[in-house]
A and B are shown apart, each in its own frame.
Chain A
Amino acid sequence: MRKAFTGAIVALAGVLFFSSMAAAQASQSQNQARSPWKYFPRDIAVGDGGPAPKRDLSGTWAGPGSTDSIPAGTPAEKPSLTPLGQKLLSERKPIGRFGPAGTNDPTSRYCDPLGFPQNFIYQNRAMSVATMPNRVVFLLQFGGFWREVWTDGRALPTNVGGDDKDSLDPTYMGYSVGHWEDDYNFVIDTTGLDERSWTMRDGTPHSVNAHVQERWTRVDHNTMKVSMTIDDPKMYTKAFSLGTYYYRWVPNQKINEWLCVPSETLKYLQEQGDPAGSYPNEPEQRLGGGRRGR
């Protein structure tokens, strides 16, 4: 009886030993196969990852449209345009309603930057956020652009794009300041936007003096969301929502490069887009809110 018991113990120990060896080997082989340099777009964070850290958006995030695991947000409202806003919009032929051959969307035709705020409404499938002592920096995957949000207490600039020699130049990212409203809500105000960029994919215009406000909420460790509004009396009769968008933590914190390369865009248009022709009057597409695209 005692011998049998000892035998069972030895056998069990043997099984445990060999199974742990097998597990270690499997793990090793899995690790070997999963290079830390590689982006794994199918990897998604599971659960909430624990409580949200205080006053921190740092990390690498998967954004709207990246995978179906990103929670749906809310789309932008339809703006109420001034006569000038309507005139400018009527001159624009957005991609989606027009094919690549017929659009005058400057990003689709020439790889021009989407600019802010469109780059946080459309194609922001991944980004990193870095916190520096005096600013928060958003590093966007699409186009490799970055955006600085100053947290040192400075005020937003005035008279951007003015006629006097000291006025600041309008920029595609604008001028941004941010502050923590509480431990989990970071509010950003932005102005000074280059008027060549479109507010949204549908061609909605903005002026250099548009004011965009973002409210970033760190929901938990693995989730954050942003709600955006825009006000621009020159173009809109009232402020409106640009939508709400969710982001999820990227497990290995590695994303890939995704650029609009002018020579590739030219090749695409010459060899595919332009020969295919343009057929307008496609149904207007939902703007923003995390719609999955190609």
Chain B
Amino acid sequence: MKVKKNAAAFALIAGLLVIASPLFAHHGDAAYSATPMIMKGCVVTEYTWMNPHSLIKFDYKNDKGVLQHWTMEIGSPPSMALLGWSRTTLRAGDVITAYVYQAKSGAMVGRTNKVILADGTVLADRDESTPSRYGAEQK
């Protein structure tokens, strides 16, 4: 019984560590904040499926009502295709919530590991080994 409890605790901790880990890219994470900003009501202005990393551009009104123009990256197309992303995943005009790890330089660029579409669909940038992390696979 104790073994079972320990195993459950280990699994929980391991799971939390996986969820808490920032996404990994070929160029490392040092240029970006380790904690995300949760940005709601972002309007996609451009989505480019490309190498070395696809880019999502969006407009965002901050809490003072100032319109900001942001760019954020996800993984490379081969990696993101494994996670269900594609060339047609996002379109200009889509309204999304984005979890953004901003660049330490202060520029309005960042990385994301979670995007929620207006219909509630969750798109993630995470390892295939954690398939249930953000719910069902995205089509």
Please determine whether chains A and B interact with each other in the same assembly.
yes
Cβ-defined contact, A264 with B51, below 8 A: yes
The 10 closest A-B pairs by CB, nearest first: A277-B105, A294-B75, A279-B30, A276-B103, A275-B107, A264-B50, A99-B31, A294-B25, A282-B28, A282-B30
Given known A-B contacts A41-B81, A271-B71, A276-B107, A100 and B27 have beta carbons under 8 A apart? yes
| Contact among A95, A261, A280, A282 with B29 in the assembled complex (CB-CB below 8 Å) | A282
Cβ-defined contact, A272 with B30, below 8 A: no
Does chain B have a CB within 8 A of A260?
Answer: yes
A275 cross-chain contacts in B, Cβ below 8 A: 71, 103, 105, 107, 109
Complex Cα spacing A285 to B25, Å: 12
Those of A257-284 within 8 Å (CB) of chain B: 258-261, 264-265, 267-268, 271-273, 275-282
| Contact among B24, B32, B51, B103 with A261 in the assembled complex (CB-CB below 8 Å) | B51
Does chain B have a CB within 8 A of A108?
Answer: yes
B75 cross-chain contacts in A, Cβ below 8 A: 294
Q: Please name 20 pairs of A and B residues whose Cβ atoms are closer than 8 Å in the assembled complex, sorted by A.
A: A42-B82, A67-B128, A100-B52, A101-B31, A258-B51, A258-B77, A261-B51, A268-B73, A271-B55, A271-B57, A275-B71, A276-B31, A277-B107, A279-B30, A279-B31, A282-B29, A294-B53, A294-B75, A294-B76, A294-B79
Which residue on chain B has the smallest CB distance to residue A257? B77
Complex Cα spacing A2 to B32, Å: 79
Which residue on chain B has the smallest CB distance to residue A265? B52
B132 cross-chain contacts in A, Cβ below 8 A: none
